Amino acid sequence: MAPVSLQSVSKVYANGVKAVDSVSLSIADGEFVVLVGPSGCGKSTTLRMIAGLEEISAGSLLVGGARMNDVPARNRNMAMVFQNYALYPHLDVRRNMAFGLERRRTHGSVIKAVLSPSYRAARAAEQQAIDTRVTAAAATLGIQSLLQRKPRELSGGQRQRVAVGRALVRDPVAFLFDEPLSNLDAKLRGEMRTELRLLHQRLRATMVYVTHDQEEAMSLADRLVVMKDGVVQQVGTPSEVYGHPANRFVAGFVGTPSMNFIQGSIEAAGVFRWGGGALQLPPTRWTGLSGWHGKPVELGIRPDQIRVGTGSCKGRVITVENYGDRMDVVIESGGRRITSRLPTASIREGSETTFEPMLDAAHLFDPSAAGATLA
């Protein structure tokens, strides 16, 4: 295993698309890092550059301190797991898992094999070692009973395990995953997330994982890398990214339901004024607001930080989604819709209500394009 480091890495495709724009990132030995962002933001391109499947246009890739830009993929010893699993349909599970190792082992001619007993013995020992590793990986993933089956005889989740198993047997310097759970149904996806976390705990391997699903990213990552338009927006632990988003994009991307954004302005004396009234901001929460007096800002507040049935804001409940253990209530107020997530309560659609954002947990954003968080 080895640390992986990207230094101002960029990718410009032949058609002129700048898919990745000066990404810098240090992944520690044994860390589970998840690249997350909307479709087209450059996640796969970044991963493929690490794997050596895509040429790096500018910048450096270091693995264990060595520059890898010009090292071909087959010599990087990275194991990649793809969304579509990329299993060989005509090979059984054992052969699928052994494929990479069998291909790598020393090749000799048939004549040599026939004439040289020592060569035959070495070959047999090599095959034995491969079998042992496949058996061990299959045990780790709980697929021992499937080794003789062909991919078409497996469920989606089982195929997924075989694809992971194929990566596992190679003992790579890093595991690279590109949306490996996207083809599974929601329940199985949840189970596989747990298994991948457990696998990581057991192997303590360097893992770089790509997904567009922020919930999956949060659940798996030691650290998240949030990307947009080829540019890293924020790097941090799930709680850092959730609790201290660097900008409006990250704030809106992470968390379900999404953060509410309310346009307004700052009045002197730390009052936030919007279409639904005026809110006194807690004086200790922000230190640099004096420069914003009289200017437009956006207030961000997560749905679980809005109380309903109390407070100075007024609105009308337009929809209620009841999940049994909680409910999402959409309130129309001051010309906008605000979502609140609450423990279940008797709130009726169409009723008038009061509500109150818990301003200690609110965020303020510069409403200009960059949407930086105000401190």
Ligand X SMILES: Nc1ncnc2c1ncn2[C@@H]1O[C@H](COP(=O)(O)OP(=O)(O)O)[C@@H](O)[C@H]1O
Among 10, 44, 140, 160, binds ligand X (CB under 6 A): 44
Residue 236 identity? G
Q: How many CA atoms lie within 13 A of 39 on its CB side?
A: 1
How many residues bind ligand X (CB under 6 A)? The answer is 12
Residue 44 near Mg ion by CB under 5 A: yes
Pick the closer one to ligand X by CB: 35 or 207.
35
From the list Mg ion, ligand X, none, pick the one residue 40 interacts with, judged by a Cβ distance below 5 to 8 Å according to partner type.
ligand X
CB 64 within 8 A of CB 71: no
Binding mask 4-43 for ligand X (x = CB under 6 A): ---------x-x-x-x-----------------x-xxxxx
Pick the closer one to ligand X by CB: 54 or 298.
54
DSSP sequence for 156-203: HHHHHHHHHHHHHTT--SEEEEESTTTTS-HHHHHHHHHHHHHHHHHH
How many residues bind Mg ion (CB under 5 A)? The answer is 1
Pick the closer one to ligand X by CB: 20 or 79.
20
Stretch that binds Mg ion, among 44-52, 86-94, 159-167, 283-291 (CB under 5 A): 44-52
163 to 222, contacts with Mg ion by CB under 5 A? Answer: none
Position closest to Mg ion via CB: 44
**Count of beta carbons in the 10 Å neighbourhood of residue 292:** 18
Smallest distance, ligand X to C-beta of residue 10, A: 12
Nearest to 97 by CA among 10, 167, 19: 167
How many Å from the N-terminal Cα to the C-terminal Cα in the chain?
39
Binding mask 150-189 for ligand X (x = CB under 6 A): ----------------------------------------
Q: How far apart are CA 285 and CA 338, in angstroms?
A: 22
Among 5, 9, 31, 45, binds ligand X (CB under 6 A): 45
CB 340 within 8 A of CB 329: yes
Q: How far apart are CA 294 and CA 276, in angstroms?
A: 17
Pick the closer one to Mg ion by CB: 15 or 239.
15
Pick the closer one to ligand X by CB: 37 or 151.
37
Query: What helix, strand, coil percent values describe the chain, rounded to 5?
Result: 30, 35, 35
Greatest CA span in the chain, whole angstroms? Answer: 92
Contacts of residue 368, Cβ cutoff 8 Å, sequence gap at least 6: none
From the list ligand X, Mg ion, none, pick the one residue 45 interacts with, judged by a Cβ distance below 5 to 8 Å according to partner type.
ligand X
Pick the closer one to Mg ion by CB: 45 or 305.
45
Pick the closer one to ligand X by CB: 73 or 122.
73
Smallest distance, ligand X to C-beta of residue 168, A: 24
3-class secondary structure, 107: coil
Note the residues at the interface with ligand X (CB under 6 A): 13, 15, 17, 19, 37, 39-45
Note the residues at the interface with Mg ion (CB under 5 A): 44
